[in-house]
């Protein structure tokens, strides 16, 4: 999808184009499932390019294809018609790169999980915005020893295929960043192993070996994540059509909408409203395979 993601007229996305290139992953016999569904369209709307690639009318197929991905557990992307390779890929942190929610695990360590879960439910019901919700949850962590951060890091693993996917994207020349409403303390530890170009996330205040229950600096919310993606693209002079964002929740929607290719990863249904692709298979590696096409660096190795 496409929005004007900044005030300076830098327009993103491909919603002005009637066509897109559809790529479908192999998991759950994806190409066969999709071809069966596409057979209902005429040749003017759908053209098969290869075993797992089609040229399609984006406005006709986007919503039903994303629904098909959810129901069948498929991986698929709708790419700009002039797609080459990604220049910048921005990933959400919790539940996208990481197989868990950091704030929940910190709350368990503090013995305040139920209190934090209640605040989260209040936010999801629309009674609190993200910043207010985050600050209230972080206040529940006051007094938590810094040693608990190490235990949380040990418990939260990467999602399946993340390391291989990021390795392939970096080998293809893309910059890869974590743009998260989560926390620096955890994501910073993955900078070297994942070769992340940058991390944009929230910072927990610490004093005398404990968390104070406060944040340091600007709160990284949904808009801040989208703004960071735009700023990185400007900084490096990347073409808008080469920008990708990946996330799972409503807090990722502005970032996904700001990218040329916004990808919903195991996402809540609402996220599909702004998505150009969906990953409901078993491995993040499908993202790299679909973005890079045949002969990704990982395959060639």
- Is 122 marked active-site? no
Per the CB < 8 A criterion, the answer to whether 24 and 34 are in contact is yes
Residue 269 to residue 62: CA distance in whole angstroms: 14
- Is 252 marked active-site? no
Reported in sequence order, the residue ranges of 9-99 that DSSP labels E, i.e. its strands, are 19-24, 46-50, 53-57, 75-79, 88-91
CA atoms within 13 A on the CB side of 188: 9
Beta bridge partners of 91: 178, 246
Catalytic residue among 7, 8, 75, 94: 94
Alpha carbon 6 to its chain's center: 20
b/e map 246-261, b = 16+ CB within 10 Å = bbbbbbbbbbbbbbbb
Query: Quick check: helix, strand or coil at residue 287?
Result: helix
b/e map 207-242, b = 16+ CB within 10 Å = eeebbbbebeeeebbbebbbbbbbebbeeeebebbb
Residue 255 to residue 247: CA distance in whole angstroms: 8
- The dihedrals phi and psi of 251, each to the nearest 5 degrees, come to -70, -10
- The dihedrals phi and psi of 25, each to the nearest 5 degrees, come to -75, 165
| Helix axis angle, 285-292 to 162-171, nearest 10° | 30
**Going by C-beta distance under 8 Å and a sequence separation of 6 or more, which residues neighbour residue 157?**
98, 99, 100
Catalytic residue among 92, 227, 248, 252: 92
Pairing mode of beta strands 46-50, 53-57:
antiparallel
Catalytic residues: 92, 94
């Amino acid at each position: 999808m496409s929005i004007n993601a900044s005030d300076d007229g830098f327009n993103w996305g491909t919603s002005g184009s009637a066509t897109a290139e559809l790529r479908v992953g192999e998991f759950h016999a994806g190409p066969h499932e999709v071809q069966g569904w596409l057979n209902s369209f005429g040749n003017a709307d759908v053209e098969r390019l290869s075993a797992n690639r089609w040229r399609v009318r984006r406005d006709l197929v986007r919503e039903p294809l994303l629904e098909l991905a959810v129901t069948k557990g498929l991986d698929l992307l709708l790419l700009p018609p002039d797609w080459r390779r990604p220049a910048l890929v921005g990933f959400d942190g919790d539940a996208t790169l990481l197989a868990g929610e950091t704030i929940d695990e910190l709350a368990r360590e503090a013995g305040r999980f139920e209190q934090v879960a209640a605040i989260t439910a209040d936010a999801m019901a629309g009674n609190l915005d993200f910043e207010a919700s985050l600050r209230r949850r972080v206040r529940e962590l006051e007094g938590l020893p810094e040693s608990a951060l190490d235990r949380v890091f040990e418990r939260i693993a990467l999602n399946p295929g993340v390391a291989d996917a990021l390795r392939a994207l970096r080998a293809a020349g893309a910059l890869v960043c974590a743009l998260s409403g989560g926390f620096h303390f955890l994501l910073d530890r993955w900078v070297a192993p994942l070769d992340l170009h940058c991390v944009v996330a929230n910072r927990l205040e610490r004093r005398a070996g404990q968390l104070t229950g406060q944040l340091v600096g600007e709160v990284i919310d949904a808009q801040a994540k989208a703004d960071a993606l735009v700023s990185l693209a400007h900084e490096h002079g990347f073409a808008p059509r080469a920008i990708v964002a990946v996330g799972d929740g409503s807090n990722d929607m502005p970032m996904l909408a700001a990218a040329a290719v916004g990808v919903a990863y195991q996402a809540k249904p609402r996220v599909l409203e702004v998505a150009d692709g969906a990953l409901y298979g078993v491995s993040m590696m499908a993202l790299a395979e679909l973005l890079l096409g045949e002969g990704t660096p990982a395959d060639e190795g």
